[in-house]
Amino acid sequence: MHPSLQLVDRFEELLQRQNDSSPYDYSTLFPSGGFWVRRASQKRLRLLKRIDEPLRAMLWPGERVVFLTSGVLYSFWESYFLGLPMYYLNRRALILTTERLILLQIDSRHRPRELRSHIRLPVIDALTRTGLGSTKIRLRSGARYSIAYVPRSDRKVLVELTRTAKGRSGKPATVDSLEHLCPHCYAAIDGHPARCPNCAGGLKSASKAGWLSLIFPGLGDFYIGHRKLAIMEMVIATVVWAGVLLPDPNAPITAAERITVAVLVFLFMHGFDSITTRFVARKGHYPGTAPAAHPASAVTAA
């Protein structure tokens, strides 16, 4: 965390530092209206302090942070088939800058995680609020994203400030989509290569994660860094296999029946975990081996 934030307890202290060298626009980040507005600003300060270090490294020269909040990238199919784990894996800090909307993966305590992505402002066709409490993003390409659980007071501000920042953005966009960023140098990477084309840092393989989970549920998640989820999956799989393989004197079955049950368990449990782990691993770039000369920041805008 930068020293300018480390000793700050109240956001009001930052409002007196509008002329410092910080990349943050404190006047829009921390409005100081009524009780609920001040409370939201104080929560925003806690989030900023959590993500300050990686965020500063991600910013382009001259780029300034206008607003930030948090939410969950929502997909009906992910929520329906994969359930609660996707709520935690899809949590994002939403950082609006003068050039783009940065999506930084965070955990339940707002600590930064591995995945980073961004949407350049000229690519955003519309950013709107819905009556059900979500924030919708529509891109020029027609792609749509839904962000749930954005605090109510933040949704309106995010929409208004995005519209203003979009009109002032000076950098053209050549890619009409959400771009996943290298976890080492924060450059935008197309596809899923084994190494970042910019810094040569290693990136974990979604295919390898899928194969590992096919061998035994949880191994793929452990490989990409979801350790708690992996341990839970391993425990459940171990209990299931113990029930299949250990003899039950009260309900004896033939060897053929046991083999049939084992094949079905493998196909459904291992197969489903393999498919879902590969899907999750392709939601961004997970860091593998570090580049030989680790870059301190993304110094240029691609």
186-212: pLDDT as tens digits:
999 998 999 999 999 999 999 999 999
> If one looks up domain 3-181 in CATH, what number appears?
2.30.29.30
Render pLDDT for 133-148 as a digit per residue (tens, 0 to 9). 788 999 988 889 999 8
Are 229 and 87 a contacting pair, CB within 8 Å?
Answer: no
CA 144-147-151 angle, 5° bins: 150
The whole-model pTM stands at 0.87
Taking the C-alpha atoms of residue 8 and residue 6, their distance in angstroms, rounded to an integer, is 6
Q: For residue 173, is pLDDT > 70?
A: no
Instruction: Classify the C-alpha dihedral 109-114-276-243 as positive or negative.
Output: negative
At residue 221 the predicted structure's pLDDT band, cuts being 50, 70 and 90, is: very high
Segments of the chain assigned to CATH 2.30.29.30: 3-181
**CA neighbor of 128 nearest in space, from 104, 140, 116, 145:** 145
pLDDT band of 299, cuts 50, 70, 90: very low
* Closest by CA position to 96, among listed 57, 59, 146: 59
Given this model, what pLDDT does residue 294 score?
54
Cβ pair 204, 75 in contact under 8 A: no
